[in-house]
Structure 1
Amino acid sequence: MNGEMVIDGERTGFRGPVLVDASGPRLPAVGPELLRPRYRAILAVDIEGSTARTDPVKAELRLVLYRLLEEAFARTGIAERHRDPYVDRGDGVLVLIRPLDEVPKTLLLHPLVPILSSLLSEYNAGRLLSQGCDRRIRIRVVVHAGEVHNDGHGNFGEALDVAFRLLDSPEAKGALRRTAAPLVLVVSDDIYHSIVRHGYAGIRAESYAPLVRLRVTGRTHRGWILDEAAALAPAPPPGLTARTRRLLGRRAV
């Protein structure tokens, strides 16, 4: 039958035989030998309240979000060659950054996030009731890192599961609702302990609070949310305890 498979029409309920072309290439089985994990820094964003907007407004906000992301990356020095292509998520974007010496993860926390926050504030000014509806863009941002797989249909893996669970956590959504800032940043426990707590330039550990706790594949993961107001407050004198530093930061606000 030259690669064609015959299905008996009587047994299947059809009046005659049905010919199915089985000569095309078969998809390879995905086994452990085909899974090649790639280490990536993970940054994902999600627009607040996107489902409540009309489709034309969604289209406008998506266009602006991509433009502002590209501008923030350009100002940070993270060029297109340093990143995998953007992965669209409908009301958000996933960005995977390659592990290159010129793109340390510190750049994502500072200056990328502050630059993006500033661009959003600039864009949002005067758009509260533009053309009869709220056209402001407020976003949640997550930063994580880990092994990512791609099977030709898309990216997947535990590291992405953790990142998106942190991004979509009720605590992150609540933090954005409570702040006047245009974005809220949540980082994974791995990012906090490998980057944040060391206090690299522009990154203040006392401005992060472990507000998110979730379980993925049987493990407990924490998420640390940045208090942007505390991060912008004057740095407290050295030698103080972390608790005193947080209290001073709140009073400054």
Structure 2
Amino acid sequence: MASAHNLRVVEPLPPPPDGEVAVRPHAGPSPLYTTLAAVDIGSFGLLGDEHSQLHQRHQMHARLAEACEITRIPWWDCYREDRGDGALIIAPPDVPPDDFLDPFAHHLTAVLRRSNRLASPAARLRLRVAVHAGHVHRDAHGVAGQAVLHLFRLLEAAVFKKALADGSADLGLIVSDRLYDDAVARGGLINPDAYRPLRVSCKETRARAWLWSSVPAPGAAGPTQAW
């Protein structure tokens, strides 16, 4: 079994000779088949000031770590990238992919609701999360591959944003068709009735995916905000 550190640690390239600028290919280890999640903070650009943005970033990472701990996803062994208004999380290969569906979604919804309970409508943290499974490559610059590309196509799909446009959900989760079908076939911890299909069209990507959305937190919907 491959170690999570094989994915998380990226060795630096040696410096080029004096006076020479070069980009050298870096042959990393074989790609790992694992589970990926991409996260985006809703209405981040509308927060208006850097203090509010920094607060929401801190809250996002804290709530993700908390939900992973409750779900028994090893947060500290995951490869993680901060994306400014979001994050990329890649689990160790031995983490069951089904854990990122219903169990993680319910736990993340619960910690978001608790955190948002006393927050003003403007400070309320809402998250979009995309989940996929596939082969992930790493090199000197980070991670790459079709699985990573497809993951962010799901996250940025207009149909996903439109499905959450009324601002009532603390969490929206979009799951790739492959991962959803595999989870249903395994009969794991997934309730198929909680998902509805979406037809994703984003750049060159045309695919079916599945939407899971949290119900509104009592009294916390506030005014409509755009994703």
- Name the TM-score, length of structure 2 as normaliser: 0.78
Within the alignment, does 1:206 sit opposite 2:206 as a pair? Answer: no
> What SS does the aligned partner of 1:137 have?
coil
Name the CA distance, whole Å, in 1 between partners of 2:200 and 2:38.
18
CA contact (8 A) 2:132 2:147 kept: yes
Post-superposition Cα deviations, 1:166-214, rounded to whole Å, max 9, x if no partner, equal: 111111111222352201010001111111355423x111222221323
Indicate the residue corresponding to 1:29 in structure 2. 25
Name the CA distance, whole Å, in 1 between partners of 2:185 and 2:166.
25
Indicate the residue corresponding to 2:212 in structure 1. 226
Q: Which has the larger radius of gyration?
A: 1
Within the alignment, does 1:57 sit opposite 2:52 as a pair? Answer: yes
CA shift for structure 1 position 23: 6.3
Within the alignment, does 1:98 sit opposite 2:92 as a pair? Answer: yes
Could you list the runs of 5+ residues in structure 2 that have no partner in the other structure? Answer: 1-16, 216-227
> What SS does the aligned partner of 2:165 have?
helix
- Relative to total residues, which structure has the larger helix share, 1 or 2? 1
CA contact (8 A) 1:43 1:142 kept: yes
Name the CA distance, whole Å, in 2 between partners of 1:119 and 1:48.
16
Indicate the residue corresponding to 2:34 in structure 1. 40
Change (3 A) 1:186 1:197: farther
CA shift for structure 1 position 226: 1.5
Name the CA distance, whole Å, in 2 between partners of 1:171 and 1:222.
11
> What SS does the aligned partner of 1:144 have?
strand
Change (3 A) 1:35 1:212: farther
Change (3 A) 1:23 1:164: closer
CA contact (8 A) 1:162 1:216 kept: no
Name the CA distance, whole Å, in 2 between partners of 1:166 and 1:223.
8
Indicate the residue corresponding to 2:102 in structure 1. 110
CA shift for structure 1 position 153: 1.1
- Name the TM-score, length of structure 1 as normaliser: 0.71
Indicate the residue corresponding to 1:239 in structure 2. none
Change (3 A) 1:23 1:128: closer
Match of residue 152, structure 1, among 140, 159, 162: 140
Could you list the runs of 5+ residues in structure 1 that have no partner in the other structure? Answer: 1-19, 230-253
Whose relative contact order is higher, 1 or 2, with alpha carbons under 8 Å and at least 6 apart?
2
CA contact (8 A) 1:83 1:97 kept: yes
